Structure 1
Amino acid sequence: MEMSTVLTDISRKLNRVMLKGFHGFLKRFLIKDCPYRLEKIGSDYGGWVVPTNLIKPDWVCYCAGVGEDITFDLGIIERFSCNVFAFEPTPRAKKYVGKIAVNNKKFHFYQIGLWSKDSIQKFFVPTNPRFVSHSILNLSETQDFFEANCQRLSTIMQNLEHEKIDLLKMDIEGAEHEVLKSLIEDNIDIKVIGVEFEPMSFLKVIISTFKLMSYKYSLVSIDGRNYTFIKTQILNV
């Protein structure tokens, strides 16, 4: 085994250990009491914890990162009758959606990726060909990739003529840090943000978490890698 591979493996394991400790710190000291009912909607793999008695039928919900599990997206539609706008550039995910949700009038699929700028980006394949998730940041350090159109969140909102987003869920394989930074820069007001933080960089997770807190969001749930934030002023009403 090459030394670079060994060092990469050690780095990843160290990141996971530090993240586990960080999760413990957040759960003990920084997770806020939530006056709303927190429930997990969707499967064990693809589900997310959200404040279910806060969500209304007129909410605009963005779900970035579809893969081959839209149980959360469809669960939101079934339970609250919201419109869900899903974004995923992977061709395999598009085929999956075509089989599962093609006739669902409240599920709107767009084959684009979220990023910090409007551009064509390379999406690198996972190590295991059975996995569907591809990464702009090449988390698996592979050679093969496909190229896809990516847009800044504010651009997508403008194109869809949305003045607001009520719920944003992101499972975008490491791109979450750039997207969070861009939505703060653009001063986009979102009631609930759900984000999966990939364990690639302990420092990036810390920075993004505290950036959201400084942007007046409160952390209300950690479920594995999935964090749920709610706008602090909503909690204080």
Structure 2
Amino acid sequence: MIKSLLRVARREFTFRMGGFRPSIEKVGEAKYLGSVYGGWPVIPSLINADSIIYSFGVGQDISFDLAMIELFHCKVQAFDPTPICKEWISQQSLPPKFFFHPIGVAGQDGTITMYLPIVEGSVSCSEQQTSRIQSSVQVPVQRVETIMREQNDAHIDVLKMDIEGSEIGVIDDLIKTLIRPGQLLVEFHHRINRSGIATTKRSVGLLQSVGYQLFHVSELGDEFSFVHRSRLR
């Protein structure tokens, strides 16, 4: 209980310092799926066995993906280009409806440089170099539109992304291409982005301007869950 209150206090301080007051709307009954570390809330009434689920940024925690498969009997397309994830996935026993793709998502097609973690036990790779001694790798990335075309998907029902700072470019690209996933679950990395909370504030505002309603913010203030108003009709 005390830890929870401290997290909320830290979130509110971060938001207040950045002049950011995200408004959370009651748009439907949400259910949290997955572990404390890797889980997300979704609106289950908008998901079924035929739903198209994209999960960007797998790391070593697929508890959310597995919970989606178990609860809704849907397929999950999971994406992560990092060597740490690819090695871990190769050692797992995965259900038939979990499909792994060793590519990343970005605002452009091609390759990007990702820096590997130097802290023992950490699995998060990032486009942003936080120490000069980090090693780096080149990884393949594609735009959401390109991935949808290759998967022959006309829409996305749930798009989750925890991609260590690259989410800003993906959101900008989604808005330009008019792709509107039904539910959009985003971990913002204002703690490592150079412009801090201002970048998150801008992206949230853009999403709200094109019809997204914010229905959850995590205690730490990093994970934001949105639903597009067109799915609530």
Residue number among 23, 26, 32 corresponding to 2:25 in the alignment: 32
User: So what's the TM-score if we normalise by structure 2?
Assistant: 0.87
Q: Is the 8 A contact 1:124 1:142 kept in 2?
A: no
User: So what's the TM-score if we normalise by structure 1?
Assistant: 0.85
Alpha-carbon offset, residue 133 of structure 1 = 1.0
Q: 1:148 to 1:184 in 2, by over 3 A?
A: same
The 5 A counterparts of 1:89-168 are 89-102=81-94, 104-139=95-130, 142-168=133-159
Alpha-carbon offset, residue 125 of structure 1 = 1.5
Alignment-mate amino acid for residue 232 of structure 1: R
Residue number among 212, 226, 229 corresponding to 2:226 in the alignment: 229
Matched residue, 2:5: none
Q: List gaps (5 residues or longer) in structure 2.
A: 1-9
Displacement over 6 Å in runs of 4+: none
Alignment-mate amino acid for residue 149 of structure 2: Q
* Secondary structure, counterpart of 2:118 in structure 1: coil
Q: List gaps (5 residues or longer) in structure 1.
A: 1-13
Q: 1:158 to 1:202 in 2, by over 3 A?
A: same
Within 2, Cα distance between the matches of 1:140 and 1:197? 20
- Match status 1:171 vs 2:168: no
Percent of counterpart pairs with the same letter? 33
Within 2, Cα distance between the matches of 1:54 and 1:215? 19
Matched residue, 1:185: 176
* Secondary structure, counterpart of 2:114 in structure 1: strand
Matched residue, 1:46: 38
Alignment-mate amino acid for residue 78 of structure 2: A
Within 1, Cα distance between the matches of 2:138 and 2:211? 35
How well do the aligned residues superpose, as a CA RMSD in angstroms? 2.1
Q: Is the 8 A contact 2:20 2:201 kept in 1?
A: no
